[in-house]
Structure 1
């Protein structure tokens, strides 16, 4: 369980005096995540999630919490931060910023099918459009500047072929980011980490005509203002791949992209650079997993993810052109 900061019930009770959420009924750590300490919190008023931020500063946190409030107000199903007595959306617990948000209904679907990818694609596009009038402005903190800072730290741990791949892809992405086409790509607030374990599905009483119902997106603490195409690519690289090989699952990829584009069609520049963004999405997570694997922080029962998974995905994206899935007809997905 990734719990960096332990909290006793006595400490929690004292801290929650600044909230109007009733008495604590249950409090337990969440067995996921490698960046923050997360806890399920049940009170006499409802169910919530408490997050203690291990790396984000108090200056950075308002962007994420304000974005979640904005999206919730636009009927995008996301956790809603609870205000304290003074109206603030977070406070300090053990000297670290901490917040309480509403708990969404549902469970993750770790073996998604076409129907799950359809729901995710449509909601992701709705989320992007809902963020257009959001006033906050913070870049994706795990984009090119972070790659340039982090890659030199992990290169000494790698074999020659891996070093060549890491350095070669960084050069490719630098050139892309400096291009006029990249500047023209539409963007705004992005989740930037919409993996299958950051989405919930409520399986009871599905909406008419649907076998599944999306319960919501959560864990926005890697969110930032970026190109929408990057956000889609990150999502496809997780939801629409064979986990053993990193190859795209064509049926799932077509379903997610068709659903997304029924809400927000891609521009011509986005179509041209779709494969570049798939590579960028794979690169971002290969770099971060290499860093967590070789330069880990101490934590209670922390288990870093396998960096080899995104190395395989990056090699697959570099080896082939995935643009054909953008306009494929449903019958061509086999």
Structure 2
């Protein structure tokens, strides 16, 4: 369920009337997603996605996100494009929430990505990184290595309720990563949440990237590490090196890795696994009784983290230097 704020017909009519998008024909809530309220809007001109930004999103970050989408779309990247109102404003207000209207992308996300999907993702991610090089906005990654320990501190006293010994295991990994984390890698705009449900395909062809609301400035190769975690493990959590090789070759066919990025990839993969372990752990322990959203299992990322801890070099991910 991803409609947290209900919108009346009258409110929506007035909001859509402030845009030059035609006459409203219909709208319905979109069930997928966990951060914001999303609606599919049909007018007599086109279809759009209307997003109401809920309390977990910092309103001060919204200009960064919306201007980034406009910038990337202008470069030719296939992503939702914010629609300006008749007054030229990208961010409005609806039902007491900040709200924006963006273009609708055709396509579907794939629940079981194949090798060819991973290759397409790698190419699109590299294009995003190149297209974002001259974006003037800046947003610090609040969930980078400096943010992991404060997040863990909020749930460390209950972590062993999820799995005995989990707290000590996380604390040990934090100690390692805080010392080993690279700080000299090429930096720029990253998506930071390119999970399969944020990548649309038409058949085997990638049709667009969506949900940029974790986008920030960080090491470009960290985005790759997030995707290796999200795309290259099977349902039994075994690592599929063929998918990893395809993802990395797709990426490097557009933007070759620098030497430090190549050697740092195992550490970045450990960090990405820990980041999602921690955010899932926090959500798992914080979800109120009767909540409509079921939190995701944090132990999935513990198992992925343990795999990356066994990796000694990037060649284990299928990419030769």
One fold, TM greater than 0.5?
yes
How far does the alpha carbon of each residue in 1:197-251 deviate from its partner, in whole angstroms, 9 at most, with x for none? Answer: 1000012xxxxxxxx2110000000110110111011011111111322x32011
Number of the residue aligned with 2:191 = 191
C-alpha spacing 1:311/1:192, structure 2 compared with 1 (3 Å): same
Number of the residue aligned with 2:298 = 307
Displacement of 1:326 after TM fit?
4.7
Number of the residue aligned with 1:232 = 224
- Range 224-233 or range 94-103, more displaced: 94-103
Number of the residue aligned with 2:95 = 94
Number of the residue aligned with 1:332 = none
Contact 1:142 / 1:284 at 8 angstroms: preserved in 2? Answer: yes
Contact 2:28 / 2:41 at 8 angstroms: preserved in 1? Answer: yes
One of 177, 190, 195 as aligned partner of 1:173: 177
Displacement of 1:92 after TM fit?
1.5
1:5-16 aligned at under 5 Å gives the runs 5-16=5-16
Contact 1:122 / 1:262 at 8 angstroms: preserved in 2? Answer: yes
C-alpha spacing 1:100/1:297, structure 2 compared with 1 (3 Å): farther
> RMSD value over aligned CA atoms?
1.7
Displacement of 1:142 after TM fit?
1.9
**Unmatched 5+ stretches in structure 1:** 204-211, 330-334
Contact 2:25 / 2:44 at 8 angstroms: preserved in 1? Answer: yes
- Range 85-94 or range 126-135, more displaced: 85-94
Contact 1:3 / 1:300 at 8 angstroms: preserved in 2? Answer: no
Displacement of 1:7 after TM fit?
1.4
The CA distance in 2 between the partners of 1:304 and 1:32, in whole Å, is: 13
- Range 126-135 or range 292-301, more displaced: 292-301
- SS across alignment from 1:263: coil
The CA distance in 2 between the partners of 1:299 and 1:132, in whole Å, is: 44
Number of the residue aligned with 1:162 = 166
Number of the residue aligned with 1:289 = 280
Number of the residue aligned with 1:273 = 264
- SS across alignment from 2:244: helix
C-alpha spacing 1:26/1:74, structure 2 compared with 1 (3 Å): same
- SS across alignment from 1:105: coil
The CA distance in 2 between the partners of 1:26 and 1:289, in whole Å, is: 35
Displacement of 1:300 after TM fit?
6.6
Number of the residue aligned with 2:133 = 132
Contact 1:82 / 1:100 at 8 angstroms: preserved in 2? Answer: yes
Contact 1:79 / 1:102 at 8 angstroms: preserved in 2? Answer: yes
The CA distance in 2 between the partners of 1:26 and 1:322, in whole Å, is: 53
Contact 2:109 / 2:198 at 8 angstroms: preserved in 1? Answer: yes
Displacement of 1:162 after TM fit?
0.7
The CA distance in 1 between the partners of 2:250 and 2:12, in whole Å, is: 43
C-alpha spacing 1:146/1:296, structure 2 compared with 1 (3 Å): farther
C-alpha spacing 1:102/1:298, structure 2 compared with 1 (3 Å): farther
How far does the alpha carbon of each residue in 1:113-167 deviate from its partner, in whole angstroms, 9 at most, with x for none? Answer: 1111111101110110111000001112222343222111111222242101211
The CA distance in 2 between the partners of 1:101 and 1:141, in whole Å, is: 25
Displaced runs of 4 or more, over 4 A: 297-300
Tell me the matched-pair count: 316
- SS across alignment from 1:100: strand
The CA distance in 1 between the partners of 2:213 and 2:103, in whole Å, is: 15
Number of the residue aligned with 2:22 = 22
- SS across alignment from 2:113: coil
**Unmatched 5+ stretches in structure 2:** none
Number of the residue aligned with 2:45 = 45
